[in-house]
Structure 1
Amino acid sequence: MRTTSLAAGATALVLAMTACGAPSEQGGGDGEDAPLRVGVNPVPHGDILTFIDENLAEEAGLELDIQEIADYNTPNAALVDDDLDANYFQHREFLGEWQENGPDADLTYITDVHIERLGLYSEDTEDIDGLDDGAEIAVPNDPANLNRALRILEAEGLIEIDPEAGEGATENDITENPQDLVVTPLEAAQLPRSISDVDAAIVNGNYAIEADLAEEANVLAWEPEGEDYVESYANGLVALDENVDDERVQKLAELMHDERVLEYIQDSWEGVVLGVDSDGEVVEDENADDEGSDGEE
């Protein structure tokens, strides 16, 4: 997830993407009788919501209007402008950053759905021990995911990070770097395209899926699952505070934890994406590649 800065044209982009009437107080034109307008990133969020729409929604009496949005800035801005009723693309850390830097709006994180694991990928190196001294490793440049990426390198014994850096560690907080690795922050969306220009890259799960990195590159390490892994980095459903009790939103939140959805996630992305059940527990993929970090639990 990238650090959000409100793009000047965000609202115009959403208006161009939607064809809805003026929203009601519940944010959906005709209130709870209208389709629920949900903004999603295409992969895996859009795929998961499409599965729900095609297999579960009608039976639950829920009509969805799925609006795919490729960037990370627009979906929250669209909630504030009442151009969406809910969105599904972000984790709590990103939402917190957005609310600190965005407009005065109260957005509520409703429920966890899945985790997109960060992975250390390389086109040329086959395992973590094969990284040469001075190797360049590209990492996401937004604060939440930069810290996550550095923790992968730390878990693999490649670097040490100043303990005082906490959850906001950057490349400047590296205190030990015995192999003189060059850590290069880039925008998350650029990482798959840049992997051929560096020795390795730590890539967000959604972008790794889009670029088919599990097939096109070697996975050197997975993100370790720490104590607060789900709480910090699960992607979930978000709405304005005033819309949290909307019956349509609550129905969707329930469907997101249906066993068929969890099975779909497990079958579709081979451990790059992990489902989260209604108890907040990660549903592990028994067939996932265990190569890399032994922090995987």
Structure 2
Amino acid sequence: MKKLLFILFLLSFIISCNCKKDEVVKIGYIGELDMSIWEYVSNEMKEKNIILELIQFSDYSIINKALNSGHIDLNHFQNYAYFVNATNKNDYYLSIIDKTFIASMNMYSKNLTNLSQLQLNSKIAIPKDEVNLSRALKILESIGLLKLTKKDNINYNFTTNDIRENYLKLEFVDVEADDVYSVVSFVDAAFVNLNLNFDFKDSNILYYDDPSKYDSDMYINLIAARLEDEDNSLYKTIAEAYKKRIKEVVESGKLEGIIINY
């Protein structure tokens, strides 16, 4: 009888071990580049019984909302300035798990091959959201095409109303970041975020962004979680794995001109 009980206990122990569920973490991201990085990290995490459920978004405006509401556990698509603006504006309870890299916001064109080809009244597509619009204007000022009104607040988001001098009388076409594809053929140049500029590799780069010429620290990308998870060790492990992989890819030379600092 004792032997039978021991066998039953042993069987129940084995079954309970085999039925142990893997931990599942839902991650939101945007763009081809992040998809390739997260897929690599996902395969690595499987060896640790951690399943990453990768959820691709195309709309910048809803990915933080999805995180705040619990539909996903982590996201990686935004820089620090965008994160601060979004959390304050929408009362999101989010936290930064880790910082990753500074990404470029290059100027692309399908119609021009050099900045010198920009003429009077050239049309430039710029992001519609406050943070990336401000960054695009700062880049144009750093190139010497604009003069902006000086502001003491480093976190101030410039708008077209802050343009003091527009030397070529550039015309601005403001679009949602993910709608650049719909206008890039009809404008002279367009500013493209990291999450999309990897898809623009066949287009001409008129200007390689150099964040050192403006407030670069504001534009470091980050992995975000809900505030209640800011000390989650599993999430920090995932973030470290992401950073390790992105470093490997950058050092291979595959992302030259796209990721600037990491």
TM bin (shorter chain) = 0.7 to 0.9
- CA deviations on 1:16-73 (whole Å, 9 max, x unpaired) are xxxxxxxxxxxxxxxx96211212224322221111112x323455321222222223
Aligned length: 239
Structure holding more strand per residue: 2
Query: What's 2:128 paired with?
Result: 141
Q: Map 1:198-277; keep pairs closer than 5 Å.
A: 198-210=187-199, 213-215=200-202, 217-226=203-212, 228-229=215-216, 231-258=217-244, 260-267=245-252, 269-274=254-259
Cross-structure match for 1:71? 59
**Structure 2 unaligned regions, length at least 5:** 1-20
CA distance in 2, matches of 1:266, 1:148: 26
Contact 1:127 1:220 in 2 (8 A): yes
Contact 1:79 1:85 in 2 (8 A): yes
Distance in 2 between residues matched to 1:61 and 1:274, nearest whole Å: 31
* Correspondent of 1:181 among 164, 170, 178: 170
Shift of 1:169: 1.1
Q: What residue in structure 2 maps to residue 171 of structure 1?
A: 160
Show structure 1 runs of 4+ deviating over 4 A.
265-269
Which of 51, 59, 68 is the equivalent residue of 1:80?
68
Report the Cα offset of residue 219 of structure 1: 1.0
**In the alignment, is residue 131 of structure 1 matched against residue 122 of structure 2?**
no
Whole-angstrom distance in 2 between the partners of 1:182 and 1:69 = 30
CA RMSD of aligned residues (A): 2.3
CA contact (8 A) 1:148 1:223 kept: no
Higher helix share: 2
Q: Which amino acid aligns with 1:263?
A: E
Contact 1:40–1:89 (8 Å) recurs in 2: yes
CA distance in 2, matches of 1:115, 1:177: 28
Greater Rg by CA: 2
Using the size of structure 2 for normalisation, the TM-score is 0.82
Question: Which amino acid in the other structure matches residue 163 of structure 2?
Answer: I
Contact map agreement 1:208 1:214 (CA 8 A) in 2: yes
Structure 1 unmatched runs, 5+: 1-31, 276-281, 284-297
- Deviation string 1:90-114 (CA, Å, 9 cap, x unpaired) is 2221121222222x44210121223
Q: Distance in 2 between matches of 1:150 and 1:222?
A: 15
The answer for the alignment partner of 1:89 in structure 2 is 77
CA distance in 2, matches of 1:252, 1:177: 45
1:119 aligned partner, one-letter code: N
Deviations along 1:231-256, one digit per CA (max 9) or x if unpaired, are 32222211112112223212112212
